[in-house]
Each structure stands twice: as structure tokens, then as C-alpha cells.
Amino acid sequence: MKKIGVLTSGGDAPGMNAAIRAVVRNGVYRGCEIIGIKRGYEGLLNGQYTEMNLSSVADIIHRGGTILGTARSEEFKTNGGRNKALEFIKKVGLEGLIVIGGDGSFKGAQELCKLGVPTVGVPGTIDNDLNYTDYTIGFDTAMNTVLDAISKIRDTSTSHERTNIIEVMGRDCGDIALYSGLAGGAESIILPEISLDIEKICEKILNGIKRGKRHSIIMLAEGAGSAIDLAKSIQDITGIETRTTILGYIQRGGSPTAFDRILASKMGAKAVDILLDGEENKVVGVNGNDIIAKDIDMALKTEKRFDKSAYDLADILSR
């Protein structure tokens, strides 16, 4: 294999650039030509690309976002769209493709595999919603961004003796809320994976006040409901002033943490090795300290496991 394409797709995540850099640098090291596809699958079907070399990925390892751009492409979900992409792949002579993105992007990669394009997925999403890998690229940075926000909101909540609900991203997966809540000492964590018990949350707030607590932080995963509605209910039940902070897109930006840069570097390089070893239709992941490769069909089939023990621990430690 001499010519490999790389694209980033879906929501951007800190560390995508470090992954692109690893693909390009390891690809060149192993004697390949690397083609960067712009704007994800949208660029693939519209023929938007750039030839990449060692210099094109200089000075990006520490930058958030993705130098290739990303998009959500409705056209690629159609047979017509995918055929346009296939025509482009043939025209440019791509022999393999590396897709950096989340589960939706992997479904797109799976479709390309069916069309005979050797494709390897690299998990780039802040959501950490893929079961086959311990971590996705961007999750650690997003979690640290949230943790910084929790500390700041805690200061003002204490001063005003308020309850504050912090809504974070993650789609249907509660990992950002769960682990930043555990790390930040949140009093309660509300997740899509666990049914909401508002009476228990309010009781915990009132018990905390009885023993001298001057604030309560409640983490809310976006897939578990509306922060504004929840604040109103909590304030009505407890009588404590309850404010909301919806963190939004700051969670997707910023310089990647060392953890995400290392993960992205290892995974991006591994994706190239997989293609050059003649394997295909795989996704790269991490299991403990090992970088692993799983069959893409199997990876997408398994439901994300919920870490109930972390949830229970956060509850015990915040009483």
C-alpha cells in the first residue's frame, strides 16, 4: 500500500490534530504518500483534499480542533453520496483510508469497507461513548475543562450558598458528567444511564446544609434532561437558590492534555501500521496500557458499558 487518505469527521475533539500528525509522520516514515481529506465525508464525496508531508503537520500537536476541518454529511449516508466518494477514492488512487471520529463516523467507515475500501477507524470524540476502547481521543481534555469549570463555579456557589447545576456534553453517554463529577466532588450526578430520583438529590442537598455545607454542585449529562427545568424543581422542593451553567462548546476546544496527545499519537501511528500490515476494516482502541485493534463490525455491535461502581463511589464520597 503506497497511498493512504486521512479524514476527521463528526464533532471535533482535542487531540485530532495529534492523531493526524501521527498518521502523516508514521505514514511517511513507512514510505507512503498521505492525502488529507478536508471536511470529513463531505470533502471525500466532493473531492476536497490536500497532499500532506512532514511539514504540513508541524506545530499542530498542541492545537485543539482539526486542521483538516470536519463536517456532518447527510449526503454520505445515501448510496449516491457514497458512490461519489468511491469515484473520488479511485480517481486519486487511495488504497486505504483512516477515519478519525466517533461512532457515526465509524458507521460511515463500515459502509466504505463494504464497498471494498480498506478502512481503519481512530476514535476521536469527547463523548467516550465507544465500548471497545477504554478512552476516546478528546475525552480527557474535555473532562479537565469541565473540572476547571467546577472549581470556579464552586467558589461562587459557596459565597452565595447556592446549588448549581452544571450541564455537560456527551450525547447519550454520561461519562463526561460521571468522571468529572467524581473528580470534582459533585454532590449529585445525573446521567442518561440512571433514572432520575429528584427526592434523593434534594434530600442530599438539605442534609449537606444541616452539616454545614455551603453549596451543592450537581452534574447533569446533556442526555439526561434540561438543566433549567431541573433547577426549578430543585429550588421548589428545597427552597435553596438553584442556578444553572450550561458549559457547551468550550468542552470541545482547547489544547489537548498530555494523555490525549499520547493516546492520539499512538492510535494514529497504529492505524497506519494496521493498513500496511494488510489488515483492514478495523478500529483502533486502548485497553489498559495496550493499543488494540478490533473488528469494526464487532466494535459497533457492543453497547457501551456503564461504570456503576464509579457512580456509586461518587455518591458515597459526596455525602
Select from 9-17, 31-39, 46-54, 236-244 the region that touches ligand ATP (CB under 6 A): 9-17
Q: How far apart are CA 171 and CA 189, in angstroms?
A: 15
Find, among 313, 306, 311, the residue nearest to 173 by Cα: 306
Any contact of residue 192 with ligand ATP (CB under 6 A)?
Answer: no
Catalytic residue among 12, 59, 127, 297: 127
Of 127, 140, 167, 175, the one binding ligand ATP (CB under 6 A) is: 127
Dig out the grid coordinates for 44 from the structure.
Answer: 471525500
| 98, 23 Cβ separation under 8 angstroms | yes
CB of 165 to ligand ATP, least distance (A): 23
Binding residue for ligand ATP, selected from 8, 125, 128, 281, defined by CB under 6 A: 125
Query: 314 among the known binding-site residues?
Result: no
Instruction: Report helix, strand or coil for 268.
Output: helix
Q: Does 105 bind ligand ATP (CB under 6 A)?
A: yes
Q: Which helix (H) or strand (E) holds 229?
A: helix 227-238
Contact 38, 8 (CB under 8 A): no
End-to-end CA distance of the chain: 57
Position 10 contacts ligand ATP (CB under 6 A): yes
Return phi, psi of residue 35, to 5°.
Answer: -110, 125
Pick 114 or 200: Cβ nearer ligand ATP: 114
Locus of grid cell 497511498: 3
Contact flag: residue 243 with ligand ATP (CB under 6 A)? no
Residue 46 interacts with ligand ATP (CB under 6 A)? no
Residue 307 a catalytic site member: no
In this structure, what DSSP letter does residue 76 have? G
Q: For ligand ATP, what does the binding mask look like between residues 54 and 93, x meaning CB under 6 A?
A: ------------------xx--xx----------------
Residue 11 makes contact with ligand ATP by CB under 6 A: yes
- How far apart are alpha carbons 123 and 128 in whole angstroms? 9
Question: Total residues at the site for ligand ATP (CB under 6 A)?
Answer: 18
Dihedral sign for Cα atoms in the order 261, 264, 269, 272: negative
Tell me the catalytic residues. 127
Per the annotation, where are the binding residues for ADP? 21-25, 154, 185-187, 211, 213-215
Sequence ranges of the binding site for ATP:
11, 72-73, 102-105
Binding site for ligand ATP (CB under 6 A): 9-11, 41, 72-73, 76-77, 101-105, 107-108, 111, 125, 127
